[in-house]
Amino acid sequence: MEGLIPIIGKLQDVFAAVGSRENQVQLPQIVVVGSQSAGKSSVIEGIVGRDFLPRGSGIVTRRPLLIHLIHTPKEAKHRAFEDDWATFEHVPNKVFTDFEQVREEIEAETIRLTGTDKGISTEQIILKIYSATVVNLSLIDLPGITKVPDLIRDMILSFISNPQSLILAVTPANQDFANSEALKLAREVDADGDRTLFLRGEVIPVKLGIIGVVNRSQADIDSNKSVDDCLRDEMSFLYKNYPSLASKNGIKHLATALNKLLILHIRESLPELKHRITNMIAEFQTTLESLGSPIDDKKKTFLQVINHFSSAYISTIDGSSKNIGASKL
Q: Indicate whether 326 pLDDT > 60.
A: no
For residue 57, what pLDDT band results from cuts at 50, 70 and 90? low
For residue 230, being part of any structural domain is answered with yes
Kindly provide the residue ranges of all beta strands, DSSP E only, lying in 81-122, ordered along the sequence: 85-88, 91-96
Mean pLDDT rounded to a whole number for the chain: 81
For residue 175, being part of any structural domain is answered with yes
Pair (216, 314) in one structural domain: no
Residue 167 burial (C-beta neighbours within 10 Å; 0-12, 13-18, 19+): buried
Pair (194, 232) in one structural domain: yes
For residue 163, being part of any structural domain is answered with yes
Interval 168-205: pLDDT, tens: 988 887 777 777 888 888 889 998 888 888 764 334 55
Contact indicator for 135, 99 with CB cutoff of 8 Å: no
Residue 192 lies in domain: 4-283
Pair (229, 97) in one structural domain: yes
Contact indicator for 132, 123 with CB cutoff of 8 Å: no
Half-sphere exposure of 176 (CA within 13 A, CB side): 2
What percent of the chain shows pLDDT beyond 70? 81
Helices (H) and strands (E) in the chain, counts: 10, 8
Supply the pLDDT for residue 168. 92
Selected residue with higher pLDDT from 38 and 15: 38
Pair (159, 307) in one structural domain: no
Interval 72-117: pLDDT, tens: 988 877 777 889 999 999 998 899 999 999 999 999 999 888 887 7
Pair (264, 308) in one structural domain: no
Q: What is the average pLDDT across 6-28?
A: 68
Pair (252, 320) in one structural domain: no
Pair (229, 310) in one structural domain: no
Supply the pLDDT for residue 53. 92
Pair (267, 315) in one structural domain: no
Strongest mean pLDDT among 144-153, 239-248, 270-279: 239-248
Pair (245, 301) in one structural domain: no
Distance separating alpha carbons of residues 219 and 88, to the nearest angstrom: 30
Interval 276-315: pLDDT, tens: 888 888 888 888 888 777 666 666 666 666 676 677 667 6
For residue 237, being part of any structural domain is answered with yes
For residue 148, being part of any structural domain is answered with yes
The sheet that has 85-88: what strands, in order across it? Answer: 91-96, 85-88, 125-131, 65-71, 137-141, 29-34, 165-170, 196-198
Structural domains in the chain (count): 2
If phi over 0 gives left and psi between -120 and 50 gives alpha, with beta otherwise, what is residue 49?
left
For the entire predicted model, the pTM comes to 0.77
Pair (297, 278) in one structural domain: no
For residue 288, being part of any structural domain is answered with no
Contact indicator for 211, 257 with CB cutoff of 8 Å: yes
Pairing type for strands 125-131 and 91-96 reads unpaired
